Structure 1
């Protein structure tokens, strides 16, 4: 199983083993100014029109989740961990990314209870810019997918602006929004509820990587459901979601 980073170790060994372009490999070890430029480069040009014509069964995606110190980035809450898994069409790959991230604030007790992430665990974790550049290098130019994506997208965008003065340029799909559109009669929204509906086993909740993997399972099932109603391409999906 490929695991570029777990906690705050293992990432560099994985990259030394190959599978990464020389451009990415060089930038990952570069000084801060180049790190910032590298992350900026990964936020641009991700909305190519031709992507709209790609069938969902062939679409390259990265399903991701973040754990944070709270739910209000405008009040100073920050990212605690990144988790992501690559999906090739309907195949959930073994290519995963996970990293803790050292916040500039203390981890609240309620978040410790919810996520299991303690202040001691993040004390020696990578700083935000390092974890962010590794995450962005991992997801590359893929379409991003999250459940209840508004929260994760907002924190990711704020982190990008804080570290590099860039905004997230990737397309982001929301499995919660898709599920609610497919089955509007179900008045539910939480990941737990939708996992139960689609019969996807719950492994460990409120862990960025495990939540990303379960959301990937949800996305895989949805591709089949969408195909049944003739929603084939990414463009079809956008059109389906925009219908009143």
Structure 2
């Protein structure tokens, strides 16, 4: 007799039809649809070769996350997504995405003070699965850009695995790494220092959308320097960045 307890039923469905039907059996239909969408986006992204795309026409999404802390593998969670579309060096400030996320845990007081996001504000916000789907619907197959991307990449990968058992497959560029390659002797490469260096107005720091917009403006300034060095395609930029420590 087949074991039809939840774990046994999931294993049976996995053997019969693969991971997606198995996962679908364990969640409500709406959640299963969200998961299927996220998995399809990651699968399609792996097929894309973006290296020959000219930098002046490449479609990008510059994004930022706010989180409850620094370690997604020790219980910290995303509490907001912010993103803005850029084509080449042209920022589309009206083409933006912003969502709070219910982390289903308490936001520490110091994070509330830093970000302005309170426990009351996220109480009725979308959960991670639904907010992540909204973010990926906005991103589609575009290249991702972030400043100091290690933090954001860890949290995105954790969120993708937690919700849909997939890893991030989008190309990711880091404005901090680009700045280090262009100006290795600068004393600091944090966002505030670079915004000041390039004369970019600081609006609201530690707000995911505002930080994304400011990072997008920084990207535009950096691309002027990149192009002045004879770098004209995404592949050429990646090649030069691969030699940056």
Q: Do both proteins adopt the same fold according to a TM-score greater than 0.5, normalized to the shorter chain? A: yes
After superposition, residues 74-153 of structure 1 pair within 5 angstroms as: 74-93=73-92, 94-153=94-153
- Report the more deviating stretch, 36-45 or 205-214: 36-45
Q: Are residues 1:175 and 2:167 paired? A: no
How many Å apart are 1:187 and its aligned residue?
A: 2.6
1:87 is paired with a residue of what secondary structure? Answer: strand
Contact 1:47 1:171 in 2 (8 A): no
Give TM-score, length-normalised by structure 2.
Answer: 0.85
Offset at residue 150 of structure 1 (A): 0.5
The 3-state SS of whatever aligns with 1:70 is coil
Structure having the higher Rg: 2
What is the aligned partner in structure 2 of residue 65 from structure 1?
Answer: 64
Secondary structure at 1:199 match in 2: coil
Count matched residues: 215
Indicate conservation of the 8 Å contact 1:65/1:208, yes or no.
Answer: yes
Deviation at 1:45, TM superposition (A): 3.2
Give, in whole Å, the separation in 1 of the partners of 2:43 and 2:90. 26
For 1:53 and 1:202, locate their aligned partners in 2 and report how far apart those are by CA, in whole Å: 34
CA shift digits 1:117-145 (9 cap, x unpaired): 00000000001100000000000000000
Residues in 2 aligned to 1:45 and 1:237: alpha-carbon distance in whole angstroms: 23
Hey, what's the Cα distance between the residues in 2 that align with 1:43 and 1:144?
A: 13
> TM-score, structure 1 length as denominator?
0.86
- 2:157 is aligned to 157
Name the counterpart of 1:17: none
Aligned pairs (5 A) from 1:18-57: 31-48=30-47, 50-57=49-56
- Taking the aligned partners of 1:47 and 1:191, their CA distance within structure 2 comes to 30
Kindly report the root-mean-square deviation, in angstroms, between the aligned alpha carbons of the 2 structures.
1.1
CA offsets 1:96-130 (integer angstroms, 9 cap, x no match): 00000000210000000100000000000001100
Equivalent-residue separation in structure 1 for 2:68 and 2:203 (angstroms): 22
Q: Could you tell me how far apart the structure 1 residues matched to 2:186 and 2:73 are?
A: 32
Contact 1:56 1:89 in 2 (8 A): yes
Q: CA deviation at 1:51?
A: 1.3
Unpaired segments of 5 or more residues in structure 1? 1-29
Q: Secondary structure at the match of 1:85?
A: strand
SS at match of 1:45: helix
Q: CA deviation at 1:33?
A: 1.2
Say which SS state the counterpart of residue 173 (structure 2) adopts: strand
Deviation track 1:136-183 (CA, whole Å, cap 9, x = no partner) reads 000000000000000001101100100111111100000001001100
